[in-house]
Amino acid sequence: MMRVLVSGASGLIGSVLQPALLSAGRSVAKLVRRAPAPDEVQWDPTRPMDPQKLAGYEAVIHLAGKNIAGRWTEKFKREVRESRVTGTRTLATAAAESFRQTGMPRVFVAASATGYYGDRGNEELTEASAPGRGFLADVCQEWEAAAQPAAKAGVRVVHFRLGVVLAKSGGALKAMLPAFRLGLGGRIGDGRQFMSWVAIDDVVSAFVFALSNEPVRGPVNVVASEPVRNAEFVRTLAKTLHRPAIFPLPAFVVRAALGEMGEALLLASQRVSPMELEKARYSFLYPELGPALRHVLGMG
């Protein structure tokens, strides 16, 4: 039985990932900041970690990081950056030393995001594409670089560049649902920006897949193979909910209300391809948007 240590286990993805790992025959322990329970390991992301705490864990999945939803003040952005970069470096450094001493962990799978690519219009983006510009692109580059101590030591490091995760209990979809259920939804801006989405079931399935598939390493785009423009996304969501989608949200309103965050998360266009997952022959559970939305919303 593979023993897996998970940070950020109480978050949107972590809370779904744990039962998925158990169902796949893995044992799971959680990294926590508070006093640990028997199935937990305590750490402080801002301080060096004793590598012996990783002894016996074949895999580490690193999900912890401050939520990027909020007003992007300089203080907020600094906290987002530090929560990702510092925490990843702390864990990767401990993983590197543990691997040198014991040969474990053998794999380190860390969350990243398609924000790595920035706003790229209609350009098709693969893992080989250059990074973009802007706050999120810069953070993602530093975030991934922070795992280098583990990679240099010989640990198989995987960077999961997550797209827009579709889940009823959190993320972008949860934020959109109240307006759409009232029939007040509509396209954002001109609606032409690409959204690279993925059902949360495929996110957790891809994590399980990566743990036991040696060829999966380096950056991996975790997105469905068919990104859609925002206008198509909102039409499909409205249809799924049996509501109209006739109230557009103009770009100037997004910029005025949400500032830099709205520009980066709602108006930027990213047409991302899951090339590495497809090369590894990962089979998506929900490759099409309509069935994915119906599933995550519990509508068949």
With respect to residue 294, please indicate whether it lies within any of the assigned structural domains.
no
Residue 300 in this model has a pLDDT that exceeds 80: no
With respect to residue 160, please indicate whether it lies within any of the assigned structural domains.
yes
Domain count, the chain: 1
Residue 213 pLDDT class (50, 70, 90 cuts): very high
Nearest to 251 by CA among 191, 195, 194: 191
With respect to residue 247, please indicate whether it lies within any of the assigned structural domains.
no
Q: pLDDT of 148-169, one tens digit each?
A: 999 999 999 999 999 999 999 9
Q: pLDDT of 217-250, one tens digit each?
A: 999 999 999 999 999 999 999 999 999 999 999 9
Mean pLDDT across the stretch 206-227?
97
Query: What is the domain extent for residue 127?
Result: 3-165+197-224+271-286
As a whole number of Å, the CA-based R_g of the chain is 19
Residues 6+ apart with CB under 8 A from 253: none
Q: pLDDT of 69-127, one tens digit each?
A: 888 999 999 999 999 999 999 999 999 999 999 999 999 999 999 999 999 999 999 99
With respect to residue 252, please indicate whether it lies within any of the assigned structural domains.
no
- Phi-psi group of 165: left, alpha or beta (phi > 0 → left; psi -120 to 50 → alpha; rest → beta): beta
CATH, residue 281: 3.40.50.720
With respect to residue 134, please indicate whether it lies within any of the assigned structural domains.
yes
With respect to residue 173, please indicate whether it lies within any of the assigned structural domains.
no
Residue 269 in this model has a pLDDT that exceeds 90: yes
With respect to residue 212, please indicate whether it lies within any of the assigned structural domains.
yes
Residue 68 pLDDT class (50, 70, 90 cuts): very high
Q: Give percent above pLDDT 70 in the chain.
A: 100
Q: How far apart are the first and last CA of the chain?
A: 34
With respect to residue 215, please indicate whether it lies within any of the assigned structural domains.
yes
Residue 1 pLDDT class (50, 70, 90 cuts): confident
